[in-house]
Structure 1
Amino acid sequence: MFGENKGITLALATAFISGFAVFMNKFAITFWQNSSVFTTAKNIIVAVLLISVIILFGKIKELKSLNRNNWLKLILIGFIGGAIPFLLFFKGLSMTDSVNAAFIHKTLFIWVAILAIPFLGEKLYKIQILSLAIISLGVYLFVSPANFSLGTGELLVFGATILWAIENIIAKKILKEVSPIVTSWGRMFFGSLFLIAFIILTGNGGALLDISFAKFGWLMISGVVLFGYVTTWYSALKFAPAGVATSILVLAFPITAILNSIFITHKIPFKIILPTVILAFGIILISPTTNRLKKYAEQKLQKRPNTV
């Protein structure tokens, strides 16, 4: 129970980081003509930060002890989690509104919950299905049909979301054997290698070296934020059920919406209060702690002597 609570706390931290990151990257990406170059440069910085942490905390021994299967999974995570979806997501983000991108990305919990049933053996009980429906309603209420359209940018973000869902399933499996920090490094290191190859093959290799002071500043900020995201997220995924952890990530959406309202629209976001309450209620319902309390109450009622 302590481990799951730790995972839930880390997932909450990841949600706050994610909400800020989606909003911030909308500005950072404007300094780059090519979103793929921005993504590659940012991920390289994160990979360097992670290898520094691995060396600093003596995790090199763990790297040396990894077996062939572990390495293959890390490479796969790097490709479908740290490379292709980043290209799709940031290209889509450059073509759509940051809130729309956040909305699509926050459907991640649905796809992870579905995939976790056959591949991780996680179960969906009636109360969990109800909570998923409630969370879905909360996410939907953030974007009214009048303000949301499904264009090329949105489709690219959706493709990235599906790949990240698959990545989470693979990561959940490898985290049984490999630490979160090493798994994070594998995602970003191998992902960066794939991204560098893509940039060179598309003739944009020189753009990686064309970095102004402003670009470098945004890269460092984005890199540190992504570093925080990936390390807290894999730690959360190690301890909490995949379906629960990804459900908590939807709280990033109101964070992005609030930032967008404050700095872009300059309007007090009263309309997000109800959706946020709905999201919080759905997340509480799906929490393992809530399910345990429910079972505990049922057991107490069964043991109560019949006084009639």
Structure 2
Amino acid sequence: MSNQKQAMLFGLATVLLWSTVATAFKLALRELAPVQMLLIAVVSSVVVMAAILMVQGRWSMVFQLSRGQYAQSFGMGLINPCLYYFVLFGAFDRLPAQEAQPLNYTWALVLAYLSVPFLGQRLRKLDILAGLICYAGVVVIATRGAVTSLSFSDPLGVGLALGSTVIWASYWIIATRDTRDPVVGLFLNFLFGLPVIALICWWTEGLEVGSGTAFGAAVYVGVFEMGVAFVLWSYAMKKAENTSKVSNLIFISPFLSLVFIYFILGEQILASTYVGLILIMGGLWLQQKKVRRRQEVVVSGG
């Protein structure tokens, strides 16, 4: 099997996992507070990433970093998982999955905008057009189609969903200067963030997190969304001979996610969700088109 075919298989596996997490979020949040779900998920993620590092023979790398890199792990851990997932889970706790999930996908556009002041990249007309299209989709979803009234279904929930995109994009901008091994770095971020999450959970909701479906869904999020999916996507990018083909697979995820949301959660998918999601994906496709053109120029030496 060629490297590109392997990359596509790893990419498809990742997309399938990403497509299920919105449903898992809602199943867990039916009985758990966002911080309780976060605690369970992060514990699960730390365990699975430790196992992955051991299987890959890279466990020793965890102990070979400098003091500055361990301090970096704590700082980045406060952003991801602590702040990012707390805000994201708060959004899913307030909004239907079909609304929270598409809004979260606009983080890629926010990343492009934040890259202008922080990474010195240029903002082009296509970025602005992509933003207008994406956020038109956000308005359609957030108002459930009542665009002219601008009456948001849950302003705080929408604010949390959009706020999570800023946090996530900021995290990846900071990560551009991260010299640690990606899996080792993520493991340490979660490991150092875990005591903070546990303390907040104990202080606010208590550490009795129960069992059953909600607990299992939270474990699923930690194992697959926070752990396995990250590793699979890393493999996909490493194996890819054409990264744009693999990257385009992410556009399948939000639509496939609606299938799980409908059949498992029982949410009736609104027409406004489809319209808004198509606008958001269309805007992101335009933005990624610019990136692909830039990569083609670099490869061709133009």
Instruction: State the TM-score, normalizing by the size of structure 1.
Output: 0.73
Q: Distance in 1 between matches of 2:128 and 2:260?
A: 30
2:172 maps to 1:172: no
2:42 maps to 1:40: no
Judged with a 3 Å threshold, the aligned counterparts in structure 2 of structure 1 residues 239 and 139 are, in CA distance, closer, same or farther, namely farther
2:156 maps to 1:152: yes
Q: Distance in 2 between matches of 1:99 and 1:262?
A: 12
Asked if the contact 2:108/2:284 (under 8 Å) is kept, the reply is no
2:292 maps to 1:289: yes
Shift, 1:29, TM fit: 1.9
Partner residue in 2 for 1:192 = 194
2:50 maps to 1:51: yes
Amino acid at match of 2:106: T
Shift, 1:102, TM fit: 1.5
Shift, 1:139, TM fit: 5.5
Q: Distance in 2 between matches of 1:112 and 1:253?
A: 19
Q: Distance in 1 between matches of 2:145 and 2:176?
A: 35
Judged with a 3 Å threshold, the aligned counterparts in structure 2 of structure 1 residues 261 and 79 are, in CA distance, closer, same or farther, namely same
Match of 1:122, SS state, is coil
Judged with a 3 Å threshold, the aligned counterparts in structure 2 of structure 1 residues 252 and 122 are, in CA distance, closer, same or farther, namely farther
- Superposition map of 1:54-65 within 5 A: 54-65=53-64
Q: Distance in 1 between matches of 2:22 and 2:104?
A: 10
Asked if the contact 1:42/1:223 (under 8 Å) is kept, the reply is yes
Partner residue in 1 for 2:86 = 87
What are the superposed Cα offsets for residues 249-303 of structure 1, whole Å, 9 maximum, x if unpaired?
5654333333334442467979838954872585266244334557999x7xxxx
Asked if the contact 2:29/2:93 (under 8 Å) is kept, the reply is yes
Q: Distance in 2 between matches of 1:293 and 1:112?
A: 21
Judged with a 3 Å threshold, the aligned counterparts in structure 2 of structure 1 residues 109 and 62 are, in CA distance, closer, same or farther, namely same
Match of 2:57, SS state, is coil
What are the superposed Cα offsets for residues 101-130 of structure 1, whole Å, 9 maximum, x if unpaired?
113312212321122223233333344444
Asked if the contact 1:42/1:220 (under 8 Å) is kept, the reply is yes
Partner residue in 1 for 2:166 = 162
Asked if the contact 2:79/2:171 (under 8 Å) is kept, the reply is yes
Q: Distance in 1 between matches of 2:8 and 2:128?
A: 19
Asked if the contact 1:79/1:191 (under 8 Å) is kept, the reply is yes
Partner residue in 2 for 1:305 = none
Asked if the contact 2:50/2:59 (under 8 Å) is kept, the reply is no
Q: Distance in 1 between matches of 2:12 and 2:108?
A: 14
- Superposition map of 1:93-104 within 5 A: 93-104=92-103
Asked if the contact 1:83/1:195 (under 8 Å) is kept, the reply is yes
Judged with a 3 Å threshold, the aligned counterparts in structure 2 of structure 1 residues 237 and 44 are, in CA distance, closer, same or farther, namely farther
Match of 1:81, SS state, is helix
Judged with a 3 Å threshold, the aligned counterparts in structure 2 of structure 1 residues 140 and 236 are, in CA distance, closer, same or farther, namely farther
Shift, 1:90, TM fit: 1.7
2:116 maps to 1:113: no
What are the superposed Cα offsets for residues 125-149 of structure 1, whole Å, 9 maximum, x if unpaired?
3444444544445565555443952
Match of 2:95, SS state, is coil
Instruction: State the TM-score, normalizing by the size of structure 2.
Output: 0.74
Asked if the contact 1:108/1:161 (under 8 Å) is kept, the reply is yes
Judged with a 3 Å threshold, the aligned counterparts in structure 2 of structure 1 residues 136 and 251 are, in CA distance, closer, same or farther, namely farther
Match of 2:72, SS state, is helix
Judged with a 3 Å threshold, the aligned counterparts in structure 2 of structure 1 residues 271 and 87 are, in CA distance, closer, same or farther, namely closer
Asked if the contact 1:180/1:235 (under 8 Å) is kept, the reply is no
2:197 maps to 1:201: no
Shift, 1:43, TM fit: 1.0
Match of 1:41, SS state, is helix
Partner residue in 2 for 1:306 = none
Judged with a 3 Å threshold, the aligned counterparts in structure 2 of structure 1 residues 123 and 231 are, in CA distance, closer, same or farther, namely farther
Count of residues paired in the alignment: 287
Asked if the contact 1:23/1:259 (under 8 Å) is kept, the reply is yes
Decide which structure has the larger Cα Rg and report it. 1
Asked if the contact 2:138/2:276 (under 8 Å) is kept, the reply is no
What root-mean-square deviation, in Å, do the aligned CA atoms of Structure 1 and Structure 2 show? 4.2
Partner residue in 1 for 2:25 = 25
Judged with a 3 Å threshold, the aligned counterparts in structure 2 of structure 1 residues 275 and 164 are, in CA distance, closer, same or farther, namely closer
Taking only the aligned residue pairs, the percentage that are identical comes to: 19
Unaligned runs of 5+ in 1: 1-5, 300-308
Which stretch has the larger CA shift, 10-19 or 178-187?
A: 10-19
Amino acid at match of 1:122: Q
Match of 2:81, SS state, is coil
Asked if the contact 2:136/2:276 (under 8 Å) is kept, the reply is no
Judged with a 3 Å threshold, the aligned counterparts in structure 2 of structure 1 residues 163 and 53 are, in CA distance, closer, same or farther, namely same
Q: Distance in 1 between matches of 2:164 and 2:23?
A: 17
